[in-house]
Amino acid sequence: MTNILISWIGETDLRVAQENQTATGIGPIAQAITNTDYSAIILVSDYPKERTDPFLDWLQPQTSTKIIFRQEQLSSPTDYQDIHRAASKAIECAIKKFGKSVDLTFHLSPGTPAMAAVWLLLSKTRFPAKLIESSKAHGVRPVSIPFDISADFIPNVFRQQDNTIERLAAGLPATAPEFDDITHRSEVMQRLVLRARRVALRSIPVLIEGESGTGKELFARAIHEASPRKGKSFIAINCGAIPADLVESELFGYEKGAFTGANAIRIGHFEAADKGTIFLDEIGELPKNIQVKLLRTVQENEVKRIGATEPRKIDIRIVAATNRTLIEEVAAGSFREDLFYRLAVAVIKLPPLRERKGDVSLLVEHFLKQINQESKGEPGYKHKDISVSARNVLLKHSWPGNIRELQNTLTRAMVWSVDEELNEADIRDSLLPIPAAINAKEDIMNQPLGEGFNLQELIKKVGTTYLKKALDETHGNKTKAAEILGLSSYQTLNNWLKKHNLE
């Protein structure tokens, strides 16, 4: 991988060269290039040539890597537009010269605060890059940004116009208070909320798919509240929580005397939801015989109580949800194909939290406020905030339990913490362990594409993992390790070990 350092030249660097390493040390740039071996070093400056030439002559002997210098003309060292233009040009030239797979590093310390801010913004938007800073006291160290700037702090100005046009074309108002409880800012969730708002106006069935804890019932309630059925019944049923022998009577009701113990008429959930919405959560858990009866209800808009001779007409909207992929359940024979296609008229697939870019930080703020509010009257209550390092732990976690897990983690941390600010240890102590199988899947096979994704690095990680595992299992016997890895020879294994720096 080609590792490139790009930096502005700062006043401190120039002064060091003139004073020949006085009490100021060797300066930020010299510290960086003597700390790490770079494939290329690109320095950008708006200082006059008579100041930069002596510095470059002094700096080049400090490293064996050739220094590429770019002279730029800025109207002001704090003009963000000029700085952005010059920095972007330097990066684009580096990519053109060294290829798209370069590993970029931006140095924040040299130059003005405006220059550092532009590096930070570019690294989180157009050009994913590592960030470093340096000082005489602390040396060179990486800069960890505990939030996703591109999602949290940069307005989606280029998307807003398209979203507005799409909303107006759908005839939707600018705001939808019914969806206010769905806390989000990510683009994927904006699209899904827009679709849900559109489908809410119609009485067609909706199927919501998503992992446990992604907020399927919240979406179902919002659809109901945004529909013409608002104000009518919304009945939520967890199909997996009803004992198999009671499912039919719970859903469809029964007549008096229909069976032993049926001492009075019982109205089922479908009749109770008449004129409103029924939400069938975990619909994939329904027994096959109930699926048959449900199919008729969906087709004919009628229910037949147990023991009744005639069906009863109903007017309901069905919103179903599952944490499975229902079409796969159809292929496996556990869910009726005809019922699936009756229910899957409008399908909304909720993404896991790990794929909702920028939403975690927003949800953290939402839940902190909510938990603080709910805890006010409890003994020993203290209003609690969260530290930057603790927030960073939350942002890096993969959240297999999704929004529900995030909320529970913050609740635990706020209960156990004795301070008024949650620290990193509080959060780590409150996180549930991730099973190895899930961890492996999250690390390798389920990473979101986009900013920061690097296929070569991922392939390298897979190779390194299995090479180490093979050597461990064979106690360092390379012949056996090559055999269990499916490699043709001992020499082939050696080549792989060299490639991954594992000799």
Give the mean model confidence (pLDDT) for residues 456-463.
78
CA–CA gap between residue 195 and residue 201 (Å, rounded): 11
Write out the H or E segment, with its range, that includes residue 13. Answer: helix 11-19
Q: Which CATH number fits domain 175-351: 3.40.50.300, 3.40.50.1220, 2.30.30.790, 3.40.120.10?
A: 3.40.50.300
Nearest to 14 by CA among 43, 42, 52: 52
CA–CA gap between residue 308 and residue 282 (Å, rounded): 28
Give the mean model confidence (pLDDT) for residues 379-403.
90
Give the mean model confidence (pLDDT) for residues 151-175.
57
More confident residue, 18 or 185: 185
Q: Is it true that domain 356-437 has CATH number 1.10.8.60?
A: yes
With 0.85 as the threshold, say if the pTM is over it: no
Q: Can you give the pLDDT at residue 158?
A: 43
Residue in the block written with tokens 């339990």: 401
Q: For 66, which DSSP code?
A: P
Nearest to 427 by CA among 386, 382, 390, 383: 390
Q: Can you give the pLDDT at residue 488?
A: 79
454-499: CATH number: 1.10.10
Topology agreement, domain 3-143 and domain 454-499: no
Give the mean model confidence (pLDDT) for residues 227-247.
95
pLDDT at residue 348 above 70?
yes
For the segment 37-83, what is each residue's pLDDT rounded down to a tens digit? 999 999 999 999 999 999 999 999 989 999 999 999 888 888 888 89
Q: Which long-range contacts (CB under 8 A, 24 or more apart) does 239-248 make?
A: 239/280, 239/281, 239/282, 239/283, 239/284, 239/285, 239/286, 240/281, 240/282, 240/285, 241/282, 244/287, 247/286, 247/287, 247/290, 248/289, 248/290, 248/293, 248/306
Domain boundaries, the chain: 3-143, 175-351, 356-437, 454-499
For the segment 310-332, what is each residue's pLDDT rounded down to a tens digit? 999 999 999 999 999 899 899 98
Nearest to 496 by CA among 471, 470, 464, 465: 464
The 3-state DSSP composition of the chain as helix, strand, coil percent (nearest 5) reads 50, 15, 35
Q: Is the dihedral angle over the CA atoms 459, 461, 463, 466 positive or is it negative?
A: negative
Mean pLDDT lowest among 147-151, 233-237, 432-436: 147-151
Q: Can you give the pLDDT at residue 213?
A: 95
Q: Which CATH class is domain 3-143?
A: alpha beta
Q: What percentage of residues in the chain have a pLDDT greater than 70? A: 89
Q: Which amino acid is at 323?
A: N
